[in-house]
Structure 1
Amino acid sequence: MEVNSMPTATDHPILQGNQADAIGRRALGFLSNQRLALTPANFQLIFEVLAEGRAELREAFVKLPKPVRQGDLTALASRYLVASPALDQLKVSTSEALSTLGELRKALEAGTLIVPDDAGTEGGDLLSSVDDQVGQCLEALQRVRDQLVPTAVEVPGQEHLTAQLTFGLGGYQALEDRIQEMVAGGLSDQGLSLLLCRVEGLEPLERAGLSKVCDYMKNTLGRFSHRLIGKDDTAYWTGPDELGLLIGATSETYLAQLGEKLSRVVADAEGIARRSVKSLPKMACHFGCARTHRPVLAAQLYGTARQSLQRAELTESALPIFSEVAADPGMARRYEALYGRRLR
């Protein structure tokens, strides 16, 4: 029986995030409906079939007897989903690294590890071994990533989009620090809101060879965000495609208008970029907002806003979904575990 080579990232077109999610759900639905085991191998096989990137695999699958049996799937997987040598190397190097780290842990717990300046001691040899093993593990992991993640080829026509000053924003840690600072100083009578904006279609740009467009969109959104908000308000990138605005106000009308203005900024920037890159994926904004008039944990405020954002995405709402931060101490502990540490 002829054995086909392992599929690589170039065997099928790059899938956008929403496409991959939809295919993944269909794959899970098929396995469940056919009462087949929900194993990684089964999922990968059905995903490859539904993605329609490998014609031979799809034709072989269509010819299987109905209903599909586990034995047939296993045979098909062994023929078309050949195990990667890079995965085997990763397993070996990971096992060796864990073994060496285990020895290091035992030495540390026993208090017997002494590492003076001169190399060649037992402790120095052990640390050197750990360094080597972890390095090999990382190299093997990179080889696996190179096989599974497509190397994007930059799409031409983006060059002029980078001819602007970079406008960087802080990340989640900066947001958390600012919330703690505001809570410690006392909230104003206007209260505090965290408006999250997820720009659908932004995160996959780099994988599609549109990194300059991605930078352009983020720079534009960051620059205009500071123009739209008050002097005491702040903006952050809380995720690859998630903008967070910390606003000293709780008015639904004001926050909804702010969301509408951000949507227009994204639409205008998308239109400019599309003049040069016709293949630019469609973008859309969704908003979730958490509001409070009392001191709360940073994790509570973000967690509540994140839940509102998820509801907006599920309902495909273009308007913000608003939520008040829960006062239940049990919920506070839950948010702390999910999103961050307790305020100090």
Structure 2
Amino acid sequence: MAIANPSPKQLAQQSRKELFYTVFATLNRLEIDASPVNYELMYEIVSGNNPELREKFARLGKPIAAEELEALARAYLPHHFGKSIHDRSADRLQSELTTLKESLLTGQNSLSNYTNMLGQATGKISSADPRDMNAIRSQLQAIRHMTEVQHSASTQILDRVSNQISAVAAITSEVDEFERTKFTHLVTNLANRRGFNKKLAEIYGGEHYPDAVSLLLCNLLVLEPFEAKELIKVKEAILERLGFAVARVVQATDFAAWLERPQIGILVWMTAEAEIQKMADQIRKSALAAFDSRQAKMPVVAARFGCGTTYDAGTASELVGHAEKALQTATDTASDKVVFFSAGGAGDARKDWMLYRE
């Protein structure tokens, strides 16, 4: 039953419900198991959140092989395959910590034995006849020998402990790196779509209304010629340089992501149009430099920018929608300037972007 004059929240709920049924219907039609990883993979494809994934999925042969589907999931949804990594890391960590504990106990026992023997030797010296220099000299030699043995044992134990601490640190670093790559676009080293959605959830998920945050979207209209398989290495090199260039432009407090389409999304904690325009100009110059090559003729870079602010957006999906509308206007009018969203043109309902709210 249709709802008369539905609210934006009701429209969003209806949109999510329709998308839910569409995803399961598509899985059923393609005879794909509706597992959590396959559901999220199909969600990304059907919703349009990840055009690159959608294109790669469309190129798969029919019927779709489970191995090809898993390869896509491992590339685009690595967090679903983290349990085995965490399990292996936990086992290795437990082993290293057990060995570390054994080394420390060995060191404690060695030091305790040395202390006891040192006490005994000292007692013999105290009770010896002061005129019996041979007995005193013998005990002093025994003390010197025990000290040398203890020093050697302590050095070995310290080396073992140091190596085990390094091994524990390496395991922790491996887990941290895995966690980082879940939200990172590996070629540009910027955040990926998942990281971008997570950041939006943080902005709108707090107790206070997000204040003075702008979303700047950018399309670079030059990447299409590099989609061919034989140019994939060239494209990756360009993307790596672009990611480095964008990271240099944004402030430490800002957040930059590579979204595939639109390619660049930057969340900045300001709304001053002049400053945002300055950032866009810097990104355009950096993009020009990234495509510059003396070995081959590169296409002219055309960058289009659209911007929306949290002042006009009550939800994350509205913020993204406003910025996308502004970006579309910039693209349609071939504007080199940032197009800022005007609330007068708002009102269209959009899909829910908050799949990764935590």
TM bucket normalised to smaller? 0.3 to 0.5
Q: Which has the higher relative contact order, 1 or 2, with Cα contacts under 8 A spaced 6 or more apart? A: 2
Bigger helix fraction: 2
Please say which structure displays the higher CA radius of gyration. Answer: 2
TM-score by length of 1: 0.47
